[in-house]
Structure 1
């Protein structure tokens, strides 16, 4: 993976971790005004998660890097996103994939005793196109 600099978010937490990984998946946007994206096509998505908090777990981690990757990679890698239950009533645009990744990660983090927060999901779809999803409750901190 190439070295990347991501937009940072201001927050009040003492610790911040960032995890990079990728997954390959296909999707289509089922609307005529989506142009070429109406046809099934694939991407190698590059993901960066920004996780923050004040309390570390018993290992001295906010969250285990490999567990964060497994949560997303295991659900999305080498799938047609339109067929997944996470997108049953949603179109898997890059924006909604980023939001879904946030929801998956935060749901897992909420189960941890140290309660870290996912502040940002950066999702690159192509070398020239990416989306950043930030939950509203963290936008102004």
Structure 2
């Protein structure tokens, strides 16, 4: 796994967990404006998921690292992102499997799991590298309960 320093997110939480992983996936962007990316092609994506919170579960974890890997790598590795119809589609640009949308989807999948844990942990950032020179950072922001008054902070 490559070692990298990621942009950090200011937050009011005591714990911050980061999970690195990679997965191989194909996709195409269903728009003529996407140029060569409108044809099926693949990438080895590199992801970093940042989770923050104040409460640990009954095993002393904010969340088990292996669970985060299963949620992302286990779902998308060696697949076509376009085939994941629950998250991606050909009709709405907000559902095209771009790196931007894929980073948001990873955050939403992880957050849905965290919401079921009862520890109020938050996925505060997803870093998704598509190529050695191109990456996206997705942060759900205050409207999703990160920091500030939406979290219950000052």
Q: TM-score, normalised on structure 2?
A: 0.87
Which structure exhibits the higher relative contact order, with contacts defined as CA atoms closer than 8 Å and separated by 6 or more residues?
A: 1
Deviation, 1:136, is: 2.3
> Is residue 127 of structure 1 aligned with residue 132 of structure 2?
yes
Deviations 1:60-100 (A, max 9, x none): 11000000010111211111111112213521000000000
The CA deviation string for residues 95-122 of structure 1, in whole angstroms up to 9 with x for no partner, is 0000000100000000012121000000
Match in the other structure for 2:39? 39
Q: Aligned partners of 1:125 and 1:140: how far apart in 2?
A: 28
Aligned equivalents of 1:111 and 1:139: distance in 2? 17
Consecutive unaligned residues in structure 2, runs of 5 or more: 149-154
Q: TM-score, normalised by structure 1?
A: 0.95
Q: Give me the whole-angstrom Cα distance separating, in 1, the residues matched to 2:147 and 2:57.
A: 27
The alpha carbon displacement at 1:59 in A equals: 1.1
Give the RMSD, CA atoms, in angstroms: 1.3
| CA deviations over 1:45-70 (Å, ceiling 9, x no partner) | 00001100011111111000000010
Q: What residue number does 1:28 align with?
A: 28
Q: Which residue of 1 aligns with 2:19?
A: 19
Q: 1: CA distance between counterparts of 2:38 and 2:53?
A: 40
Matched pairs, number: 141
Please list every run of at least 4 consecutive aligned residues from structure 1 whose deviation after the TM superposition is greater than 3 angstroms: 138-141
Which ranges in structure 1 are unaligned for 5 or more consecutive residues? none
The separation in 1 between residues aligned to 2:45 and 2:138, in whole angstroms, is 14
